[in-house]
Structure 1
Amino acid sequence: MALKESAVTIHTTSGPATVYYSFSICSRDNSAKAKQFITVNVLLSSRKAAEGPIISSDSLPSAPYQLQSFGSSSDDSFASIDFFLRCCHASIHDSSGGPRGLKFILPSQHGYIARSDFLQQRLLDSNLVGELQTFCQPRQYVSALSTEHLAWIGMNQILAHAVGGLFAKQRPDKCATSILADLDMEMDNKLLFPWLLDRPIPRRVIGFFDNRDQASTEHMYRAAKALGIDMIVLKGGPDHWLDSVAYSSLRIETIQLDMTLDEELPLRIVETISSRGIPIDGLVSDLDGFSVPVAKAAAFLGLPCENLKALDICGDKYKQRMISGDPTKQVHRGDDAKAMVNGDLEYPMVVKPSDGVGSEGVSKVLNDAELDQAVGRAFDAQYDYISHPFAINVEEYCDGPELDVNFVLLDGKVLFAEVADDFPKAGDDTDGEATSASFKETAMVYPSGLSEEEINLVKSSLHQNMLDIGLRTGVYHVEARVGNSSKQYRRADDGLLDLMDLPANSSQPKEPNVVLMEVNPRLPGAMCLAAARSTYGIDYTALHLLLSVRDDERAKALSLPFASGPQHWSETVFILGDKGGTFTSEDVYSNLKKDRPELARYVSDSHTYYTKGQVVPPPTADFQPWIAWLLVFSRVSRKDLLEKAKQVHEAAEYTID
């Protein structure tokens, strides 16, 4: 389409100002069925173009306007106009003097919005986008402009039909036109998924069994709002952060419930839901211990839920190992652990609670004496999520690479799966530098550095394990190791620890095998959620909600990652506490941003577990507290990522007194 030029006058604090703009419809290939959009490139400048007259003038509002921020407009019907005017205002105050690039996204077909913030989700961490905003509502119907309309389109029509806008970042080495061209290619990569659906999307209501703090669950409510799902909060006490008026748009009601984990909990959930008289379409939790009672309540209410027998197996690591076929022994209090494992298992061994969560109570033992000590300690210790476990697993230790594998299943079929490298922990004692026996995570890298063959083996083997357990539909967090892998963790000459091919003089006599550690029928941790969103464009939280109400069409649509694969390498850097005491500093990322801004720009997300004044528990033989995690990314290479992550880890500061 031919370039169109025009101008708009806006009022600023220093008086009226004219912004000149030219725009064109991008004539890119729309033949792919998954491509549901066209884009309009706009060049903004406070100076009139040197050649050609202004050929048209649009009657945009020119009421007094002052730029405040690039937040959402309070009136969604004027969101696109508001965004355009703010971009115009920014171009007036641009000291570079060159034009600024702006892009509007218009639907190329009619349909219903699958998720209203799809641009924010898919363009997260883009190095081309300065600011962006969507102009649509959850489940909204949008219509495409016809070819005839596109022939005479003006800015009014663009703003009326746009579903979102992007204000491109400036770069000293590229002009605005070139940056917009790069942005076109990035959108072709990241937006090739069905964010528009053919049929109306019904509104659904979900009861969320929420017993955690705001930092742990707010993302769940934000995702629900973007999906057009109403949330009822089942809370454990009288006070909940969602009780505040400031967050009232994220829920329709909060209901107090006795969350004591006993046999009567499912009945209390059913009675509480039924007594309110509010029909619900799904019931969910994101905590391991509550998965079975919540599923029992859902089954009683006739709501979608996972197989109860399968969930019971997921709560017992011994049953999981029996199904996977990996050797293990289960020890109960009073049993002679040495006698039970003698002749059947070989040292080193791993001792862990059968109903444990995360790395709580996990330790590696090298002889009979350590075995007895570890079993006794595991039975007597008090952990965050379990106390006095009913049984202890004793397993042979696999020294192969450890992995975090997240699956999205629908009726037993894999919609999405990704593999991350879970770097050696103190308990692995890879370099002889371990300071404790803790198996607390130290770093996770996405995507995995294993060979493609071993990654495929991991996915297929663990998928079969899950099917054998009886799992069919949901989001699952699985942990495993690869025995006889072609790679091992070693330090390079520059000191970086990473997966490397086995030395040339070593042999690999056996075929690689996958050793299941545990299957968790829940969302992965917050750091894994952040990594999946940033690296692959996948939001497990949204998929968890959609599958809980069997919104299969949207679950399939939102399970499609970027067309070209991961957009970068990323690493979750864990900061572990080395002593107990009172936390006396600001959060770790704020300190990094203040002291090392050149490193902070490579941090996509972060969380500090303690606030000033809180008490940090001391590390023990099998427990080490997390102080914080930071998600670091690199677009250069895996090696560059590891270098940046090491620098971030070394620069991360906090104080405990």
Structure 2
Amino acid sequence: MVATTEKEALPIRLAAAVKNAQPVDGIFTCTDDYLVAVAQTAQELGLPTSGLKPYTISTDKFLTHMFSGRNDGATFSVRSLAELDDKLAEHASKESMSYPMVCKPSTGRGSEGVFRADDALELRDAVARILALGRDCPSGVVIEPYVDGPELDVNLVMLDGQVLFSEVVDDFPSPADYSSSAAFNETQTHAPSGLPKEEQKLAVDAMVEAVLLQGFCSGVFHCEARVRNSRVDYRDDPDVPFPVLDYKEPPSSQQQSIFLHEINARSPGIGSSTASLHSTGVDYFALQLLAAVGDWARFAALSTPFQHAPTNFISLANVAVDVPATLLTEIVKVPKLDQDVRIAIPDDAFPNPQLRANHSSLMRHVVFHTAVVRPSHWYGGEVGSWRWFMTGVIVSGRGREEALMAVATFAGVYQRLLGVE
């Protein structure tokens, strides 16, 4: 076992551990925090890897945008409030800043430290909050335009620059799509996508181009983007408890384009990967393992989906709510609360036994669920409070609406068990 602190020394310690072990055919990681260190270690040991440079680009959100093939000059980065003030003054002398903007650490996971700013005051406050997190971000804070269009995930399996498999997943609106005071927490996703086929192809082509520009040619990639000027958008429907993806009236007269958020050179998270496995039969984690050892024949063979994929309608339910410390210490029995760490909730801990015992008919649709607790201030909440994140994979053989109805029911039941309405 190797300690994963002291970032600069990690590749050296990993290499030493591998050399002292039994024969090792490859090494890999499923978390962005260690992608660069693992790539550097594999390169030094002569193990299969895409190399240090591509991972250095993909794990830096500013560099990712620069190597996206779609840099329109509207995205920039700052390392201090003084530098932000200079950038704002520079923009003011040329043309006014176009709000809303999105601010985020150049390195980080998910929606941690990601904020929306609707004016200059909110922008300065968002940058100050991100800097206060004290993250090790080589490119500082990334500031980019907020794109008002459907968000999506594109999962790619590539070999020698060719796409063996691709999948487009709808990513539903987050709270920050409605208010700058809210966070960009994921709410729910769904596959197969409801986007027009031509927009799905546009997204896949754009992500493939970005992956290749970063220097990758083989592997598994989890990409996130938005469709600018999409022909569809989400609308509220009083008859269902979820946003409905529908064609705009009147349709957009402008050309559709893809705005890249990030390229994750790894398999999707455990929830998303489980959803894809049930929908298409493609196991991203197995493929990442095969890529790590350079077994490209099996990699190609296992990239083949079910004959009639997708075979199910799959939705991902996400709950993100603040909970009191007493819930963690007294009911879940977390031994120690630390404001600098994430806490995984054990499978046998509250509220899982209550779900299984009292909601068995609903749980038949839930093939997987997991929970983690993180400090709320990572997402703009109060220091000392805790945010509970749950991800659940919901399966329906009947259709999109049934799956999304089950998501709404499951999320509601789960939040009530946590004491949140």
TM-score when normalising by structure 2: 0.86
Contact 2:152 2:169 in 1 (8 A): yes
CA drift of 1:389 comes to: 6.7
Q: Are 1:493 and 2:238 counterparts?
A: yes
Q: Distance in 1 between matches of 2:96 and 2:261?
A: 18
2:274 matched to which residue of 1?
530
- 1:225 alignment partner in structure 2: none
Matched, 1:636 2:398: yes
Structure 1 residue 262: Cα displacement: 2.8
The structure whose residues are more often helix, as a share, is: 2
Q: CA deviation at 1:341?
A: 4.5
* Cross-structure match for 1:579: 323
Instruction: Answer yes or no: is 1:338 the counterpart of 2:88.
Output: yes
Give the direction of change, closer, same or farther, for the CA distance of 1:258–1:600 in structure 2 (3 Å limit): closer
Partner residue in 1 for 2:337: none
The one-letter amino acid paired with 1:294 is V
Larger of the two Rg values belongs to structure: 1
3-state SS, counterpart of residue 299 of structure 2: helix
Q: State the distance in 2 between where 1:409 and 1:561 align.
A: 14
Report the residue type matching 1:338 in the other structure. L
Q: How many Å separate the matches in 2 of 1:632 and 1:587?
A: 20
Q: Return closer, same or farther for 1:461/1:499 CA change in 2, 3 Å cut-off.
A: farther
2:62 touches 2:139 (CA, 8 Å); kept in 1? no
For residue 464 of structure 1, give the secondary structure of its aligned residue in structure 2.
helix
What pairs with 1:508-587 in structure 2 (closer than 5 Å)? Answer: 508-581=252-325, 582-583=327-328, 584=331, 586-587=349-350
* Alpha-carbon distance between aligned partners in 2 of 1:555 and 1:595, rounded to the nearest angstrom: 42
Aligned to 2:76: 329
Matched, 1:417 2:166: yes
The secondary structure found in structure 1 opposite 2:155 is strand
What amino acid sits opposite 1:490 in the alignment? R
Q: What corresponds to 1:367 in structure 2?
A: 119
How far 1:279 sits from its partner (Å)? 2.3
Q: Which of 196, 201, 204 is the matching residue for 1:456?
A: 201
Q: Map 1:265-276 to 2 at 5 A.
A: 265-276=10-21
Task: Measure, in 2, the Cα distance between the counterparts of 1:545 and 1:621.
Answer: 32
Does structure 2 conserve the Cα–Cα contact (< 8 Å) formed by 1:441 and 1:574? yes
Please report how far the alpha carbon of residue 604 of structure 1 lies from its aligned counterpart in structure 2 after TM superposition.
1.1
C-alpha distance in 2, partners of 1:469/1:340?
A: 29
1:496-531 Cα deviation digits (max 9, x unpaired): 433433343x24111111100011112211111110
SS at match of 2:238: coil
1:387 positional shift: 5.4
Q: What is the Cα deviation at residue 590 of structure 1?
A: 3.2
Alignment partner of 2:153 out of 394, 401, 404: 404
Q: 1:645 to 1:258 in 2, by over 3 A?
A: closer
Contact 2:231–2:248 at 8 Å: present in 1 too?
no
Q: Which amino acid aligns with 2:263?
A: V
Work out whether 1:349 is the aligned partner of 2:101. yes
Shift of 1:470: 0.9
| 1:443 matches 2:188 | yes
Gaps of 5+ in 1: 1-234, 236-256, 611-615
> Taking every aligned residue pair, what percent have the same amino acid on both sides?
34
How does 1:186-225 map onto structure 2 within 5 Å?
Answer: none
Deviations, residues 325-376 of structure 1 (Å, cap 9, x unaligned): 2330111213124225443741011011111221111111111111111111
2:222 is matched with which residue? 477
Measured in 1, the distance between the counterparts of 2:351 and 2:310 equals 27
Higher relative contact order (CA 8 A, sep 6+): 2
1:259 CA displacement: 2.3
**CA shift digits 1:374-405 (9 cap, x unpaired):** 111110125xxx45775111111001011122
Structure-to-structure mapping, 1:87-98, within 5 angstroms: none
* Match of residue 143 from structure 2: 394
Partners of 1:410 and 1:472 within 8 A in 2: yes
Matched positions, count: 388
Shift of 1:308: 1.6
Instruction: Please say if residues 350 and 364 of structure 1, whose CA atoms lie closer than 8 Å, have aligned partners that are also in contact.
Output: yes
Residues in 2 aligned to 1:641 and 1:261: alpha-carbon distance in whole angstroms: 44
Structure 2 counterpart of 1:543, which letter? L
Q: Give 2:418's aligned amino acid.
A: T
Tell me, in whole angstroms, the C-alpha distance in 2 between the residues paired with 1:494 and 1:313. 45
Give the alignment's Cα RMSD to 1 decimal: 2.2
> Which whole-Å CA distance do the structure 1 matches of 2:90 and 2:66 have between them?
16
CA distance in 1, matches of 2:406, 2:377: 27
- SS of residue paired to 1:456: helix
Deviation at 1:539, TM superposition (A): 0.8
Amino acid of the residue matched to residue 365 of structure 1? A
Structure 2 residue matching 1:643: 3-state secondary structure: helix
1:484 Cα deviation from its structure 2 partner: 0.6
**Per-residue CA distance 1:5-38 (angstroms, 9 max, x = gap):** xxxxxxxxxxxxxxxxxxxxxxxxxxxxxxxxxx
Distance in structure 2 (CA, Å) of the matches to 1:400 and 1:605: 29
TM-score normalised by the chain length of structure 1 = 0.56
Q: Deviations over 1:290-337 (max 9, x none)?
A: 111211111111111013211111122111112222330111213124
| Partner Cα separation in structure 1 for residue 244 and residue 237 of structure 2 | 10
Amino acid at match of 2:165: F
Q: Secondary structure at the match of 1:264?
A: helix
Closer, same or farther: CA 565–599 of 1 in aligned 2, 3 Å: same
Find out whether 1:310 has 2:38 as its counterpart. Answer: no
Cα distance in 1, alignment partners of residues 209 and 266 from structure 2: 18
Is 1:650 equivalent to 2:412 in the alignment?
yes
Unaligned runs of 5+ in 2: 333-348
Alignment of 1:154-173 (within 5 A): none
**8 A Cα contact 1:406 1:417, kept in partner:** yes
Give distance in 1, aligned partners of 2:372 and 2:37. Answer: 28
- Of stretches 565-574 and 592-601 in structure 1, the one that deviates more from structure 2 is 592-601
How far has the Cα of 1:435 moved from its partner? 9.3
- SS at structure 2 position matched to 1:538: coil
User: What per-residue deviation string (whole Å, max 9, x for no partner) do you get for residues 516-568 of structure 1?
Assistant: 00111122111111101111111111100101111111111111111111111
Deviations 1:470-490 (A, max 9, x none): 111211111100111111011
Q: Aligned partners of 1:414 and 1:587: how far apart in 2?
A: 42
Would the aligned equivalents of 1:447 and 1:570 in 2 still touch at CA under 8 Å?
yes
